[in-house]
Structure formats: structure tokens, C-alpha cells
Amino acid sequence: IYNASQINLNLHSSFTAKGVEPGGDFVNPRTFELAACQAFQLVDNRRYLSECFLPGEEVVTFSSGDQLVSLIDHYLKNEEQRNRIAQNALKRVLNEHTYERRMEKLIGTIWETAPGTWVRDLEQEKIPRYQMEKLAQDDPELREFLSSIPQDMSLSLDEVVASIEIGKRRLKDFETIFLLMKEFKNQFLRRSS
């Protein structure tokens, strides 16, 4: 439907404004979906949109109903411009806004902060039982596990994992999470050394 439409209207939701929100900031997922479909879109002006797409080259923005009507009239008559802008948006979304690209950026940011350093700092950190109990309010199995620990005791991740009986029964959800946390920590330590 998006790609088959001559013009896609992308109006962000607002709790406060009727029509176009003048101070809107977030960019909705539809903006990226339309670009990925190589669909031409008219999108209400957003504060952070230019960080994602170049207005006028990859998307076309409007700030009022009157401006929207004028842009619709213009772009209905200019198929080449619509196609060029939609093609530019597709190139941009494939180069910068896929899940793969976002994860590369996220992981790169994590590695820039030298995770081995903070993992080693946390390696022997112990968490008091009472703090764990606060986090376990909605998990009866974890609460049961914590009840076996003396009230004034603190545990490190390594100590919690050492208490898990692997291979004797099906793991409980919280045990699986602790084992994954330990594995992530080990991966970070290996990569940072």
C-alpha cells in the first residue's frame, strides 16, 4: 500500500495539539517504514527528523494544514521529484537505519566505553539480599530462592551462579537469566583482555 500510493501522509500523534504539533520531537517508526518501502512521504516537521533524513531530499516536511495542501498539489503533478525523493530515502534507510546498522552503532558505543573495565569493577560486587528482594517482588521462584539466603548476606553474581544446580532439573527463569548474565560478563572479559 505504501509503495503503491503516490503520496503517503505521515502525521505524528500528539496528546496536546490538534493537527500538526509545532514542537514535536520524536520520529515515529512509520517514517522509516515508508522509506524502506521506497514510498514518497509528506511528514509533519519534527525537531529530530533532520538527524535521520534530509528534508527536501529524502522526505518532504510540512508545518501547517495549508502548507500540506500546497505540497500535495505540487507533488501530485511531479512524479519524477516524488520518485527521486523516495529513492533517496530508501538509500538512506538501508545505509543507516536497518536493525543491523543500529546494532553495529550500539555495540560500537558499548565497546568505546571499555566494558572490560566496568565488568572487572563489578566482578566482585555483592548485592545485599534486601535489594534483590525488592527486585523479586513479582517473581515467586526468585523470592523462594532468596529466602534460603541469610537476611544480612550479600551475594556476587558468581556466588549466585555457583548455587544453581545445572543438569539436575529444568532451570527456572531467574536461573537462566543469572547464567546468561554470567556468560555476558565472561564474553566481555574475554574480548577486553
Domain ranges of the chain: 8-106, 113-192
The yes-or-no verdict on residue 39 having pLDDT over 80 is yes
Query: Which of the pair, 193 or 146, is modelled with greater confidence?
Result: 146
**Of 45, 52, 59, 53, residue with least CA distance to 17:** 45
Q: N- to C-terminal Cα distance for the chain?
A: 51
CATH 3.50.20.10 fits 8-106, yes or no: no
Distance CA 97, CA 83 (A): 20
**Mean pLDDT on 150-157:** 82
- Residue 22 sits at φ, ψ, to 5 deg, of -65, -30
Task: Label residue 19 left, alpha or beta by phi (over 0 means left) and psi (-120 to 50 means alpha).
Answer: left
pLDDT for residue 68: 96
Which is more confident, 29 or 14? 29
Calpha distance 52→60 (Å, rounded): 13
Give me the residues paired with residue 128 across strands: 154
Residue 157 CB-density burial (10 A; 0-12 exposed, 13-18 middle, 19+ buried): middle
To the nearest whole percent, how much of the chain has pLDDT over 90?
42
Q: Give the pLDDT of residue 85.
A: 98
What residues form DSSP beta bridges with 59?
55
Residue 119 or residue 36, greater confidence: 36
Is residue 58 scored above 80 in pLDDT?
yes
Sequence-separated (6 or more) residues with CB below 8 Å from residue 161: 178, 179, 182
For the segment 41-52, the average pLDDT, to the nearest whole number, is: 95
Q: What is the pTM of this model?
A: 0.59
Residue 116 confidence (pLDDT)? 57
Helices and strands of the chain, counted as H and E runs: 9, 5
Higher pLDDT, 8 or 182: 8
CB-based contact 2:30 (threshold 8 Å): no
